[in-house]
Amino acid sequence: ELLEFVDEVVDELGSRKEIEHIHTILERGTSADEQLKVWEENNHDFKPVVDMLVKNTMENVPEICFD
């Protein structure tokens, strides 16, 4: 309901991308939800969680950072 309320000004504020990300979070869950799932699936071992976080972070780092 709140997202519908702000929808008419989102483009004017340049925030459409951020609002769309809210929809993604509502559908998929948060990173914390994903971390808990991985942790539970791996018998409460944090290493797979850290591995997932590193992988997800590295996927979003531009190639130029590695030159």
Domain residues for the domain of 6 are 2-66
Report pLDDT for 18. Answer: 92
The candidate with the shortest Cα–Cα distance to 3, out of 19, 17, 18, is 19
pLDDT (tens digit, 0 to 9) for every residue of the chain, 67 residues total? 888 899 999 999 999 999 999 999 999 999 999 999 999 999 999 999 999 999 999 988 888 877 7
- The predicted structure's pLDDT at residue 65: 79
Max CA separation in the chain (angstroms):
47
Averaged pLDDT of the chain: 92
* Number of domains into which the chain is organized: 1
